[in-house]
Each structure stands twice: as C-alpha cells, then as structure tokens.
Structure 1
Amino acid sequence: MTATSQSSRSGVMLILAGLFFLAGLSRIGLGVAEVLAADTRIEEPPAALPVEQEATDPGDLYAALQARMAQLDAREKELQERANTLRDAEAELRNNIEQLVEAEAKLTATLRLTETAAEDDLKHLTTVFESMKPLQAAELFSQMDTEFAAGFVSRLRPEFAGEVMSALDPLTAYGISAVLAGRHARTPRN
C-alpha cells in the first residue's frame, strides 16, 4: 500500500466522519427548531378585570376570580409542558452529541489502528527488501510501478538504496529519482 493510497483512505474516512457529524447536528437542529418555534408563539394575555368596577354582587366577583384563577392555572400548565418539552429536547440533544463524540472517538481509533497496521506492514516489507542482495532487490523494483518503487526506495537505508539504484536500468532509476525529487516540490518553503 502506498503512502498516497493510505492518505487518501484516511481522507475518505475523515470526510465520512464529518458527514456523519453534520447529519447528526442537522437532526438535532430540526428538533430544537420545532421546540423553539412552539415556544415563540404569541398568545393573547387573559383579559384583566376592569380597574374601575362599581360594587357588584360578591358572587360575580367570586366567579370572576375563579375564572381568572382557571386561566392562570391553564397558563401555568402550558408553561410547564413547554419547559418539559424543552428539557426533553435538551436531553436528546445531549444524548446525540454524546453519541457523535463516541462515534468520532471510535472512528479515530480505527483510523489510528489502520495507519499503524499499514506502517508496520511497510516497515516489515522494507526490512525484507534490505535483506536481499541489491541486484535481487533491483530486479523486483524494476518490475514495480515507478511511484510504488520510489516509496520503498525512500524507506531503504541510504547505502543499500544507492546499491539498488545503481543496479537498476538507468531509465528506471531516473524515473524513481524524479518521483522522489518531485514529492515535496510543491511544499511551501516558508
């Protein structure tokens, strides 16, 4: 596996994680938006008793107070229901965020494990190449794709890499050298 395919695979995994994260946030946002929309509903305040009221029947005054009390109780119940709805939405939001954080942690661990396994494989294969005679390694490298071979040549001990490069066909050696020299050509120097 080349470093390029490894980094592109890591990039794809990070993009997928980002998309999962954004999808979760959008689902959370829709639920909160519904609750907030319901909460911003403007209601007419209950009619107040007239300030200037001539002495009336105590029964009428008692009935008006009872009606006002019923209105206040209904309003209190509605406010309590809204508070419960907001509390539930907040709990769901916290739960979704926790799930997203857990998913991100698992994805990061999986990516780290994948990268570590790939790096271990590359180190092992480099050691195998270095245990060969330079001519044998050169024969293998001449059969590989130039970029693939350049990836391994860059990992070899410099003295062994020199022996392998000198045993290669000059055109193949030039191609590998060009790939190695061009890898960081676009890297900012500042």
Structure 2
Amino acid sequence: MIRTPWRKTTPGPRRRRRGMLPALACIFALAAIVRFGDGMGTIFAFASAQNSSGDDASCAADEGTLSLMNALRERERKVANQEGVIADRMRALELADKRVQERLAALSAAEKELAATVTIADKAAEQDVARLVTVYETMKPKEAAPLFAAMSPEFASGFLSRMRPEAAAAIFAHLDPETAYAISVIVAGRNAGAPVN
C-alpha cells in the first residue's frame, strides 16, 4: 500500500457553510433578545406610569395607552352594569313565572271544584226532574192533563218523553188535539238531527 504524505487541505465550500450556521443562529438570538427587551421596556414604562404619583412626563409618553386603558375600563363598567340589569330581569322573570305557575295551579283547583259543583247541581236537577216525572205518572190522567195543557209544549214534552209509555198515553188521551199534536211534534223532532251511523 502506498502512503501519501499527510497534507493540509484548505477549507472547501462545505466547511464554510458549517461556520456560517452558528453565526446566523447568534444573529437571530441577538435580534430576539433586542425585541424582547424592547417589549419589556414598554411594559416597565407602563407599570411605572401606573405607579407614579402623577408624573406628567411618563403620562405624556403613554397618553394613547392610558386613553385606551380608560376606554377599556369604561366599557368593562358598562358591561358589568348591563350584566346586572340582565340578572335583575332574569330574577324578575323567574319570579313572574313562579307566580304564573301558582295561579295556574289555583285556577286548575278552582276549575275542578266548579266541575264538581256543576256535577252535583246537575245530579240534583236530574233527581228533581225524575221526582216530578214520578209524581205526574202517579197522578190520575184526568188531573194531570190540565197541568200539561197549561205548560208550554217544549216543557211538557220533556216530562212526557221521560214517562212510562202507558202513563204518557193516558195523559195524551185527555189533552185537546192541538196541544197533543204540538207536544208530539217536539218529541218526534228532538232527535231528528242526530247522526244515523
């Protein structure tokens, strides 16, 4: 094997590139530090303006920032006021809803009581009519006929339609023909409008 003497090589383009990467990294790092330091300076200046006891020089430098902060505080105060108003309205609506629910429950209870009262009254009226029908059925037809002749045909037809057919026929026999005819027409036409099916 033939050995060649060691010789010093000159840096090529590849070695130059490697040397440039660290330099570029340092430049970027310095730029970031400068930018970060500039932002921190603004923050410290604002904090010192807030903590100062009215130093006009620092306030004059941040007049735009202070006016922006004041505008934001005013807007925050308005939003807080609006939230309070909305919360008050929500409480009022909840209270009104609760009252409406209570009134609906009371109305429902009153409606049930009224329905029970109407049912009792209807039953009582039905019992009264049933008693009267029984009374007219037990009367002699000659005595009951003048009572039915004095009634209006609509009223008389209600009683006669509830009576046993034999008792109603006996009373009809003692009525004058015109009254008997008027009552018959009303009784016959009472269910004429009812559906067939």
TM-score interval for Structure 1 and Structure 2 normalised by the shorter chain:
0.5 to 0.7
Residue in 1 that maps onto 2:46: 57
Residue in 1 that maps onto 2:182: 175
Q: Which runs of 5+ in 1 are unaligned?
A: 1-53
| 1:68 Cα deviation after fit | 6.2
Count of residues in correspondence between the two structures: 137
Provide TM-score, normalisation by structure 2: 0.60
User: Where does 1:1-150 land on structure 2 (aligned, <5 Å)?
Assistant: 55=43, 57-58=46-47, 59=50, 70-150=77-157
**In 2: Cα distance, 1:181 partner to 1:106 partner:** 37
- For residue 163 of structure 1, the aligned residue among 165, 170, 174 is 170
Partner letter of residue 140 of structure 1? L
RMSD: 2.5
| 1:91 Cα deviation after fit | 1.1
1:34-75 Cα shifts (integer Å, max 9, x gaps): xxxxxxxxxxxxxxxxxxxx6451225987776566455434
Bigger mean CA deviation after superposition, 163-172 or 146-155:
163-172
Provide TM-score, normalisation by structure 1: 0.62
Moved over 3 A (4+): 60-73
| 1:90 Cα deviation after fit | 0.7
Q: Which runs of 5+ in 2 are unaligned?
A: 1-41, 51-65
| 1:169 Cα deviation after fit | 1.7
Bigger mean CA deviation after superposition, 143-152 or 96-105:
96-105
| 1:114 Cα deviation after fit | 2.1
Identity %: 40
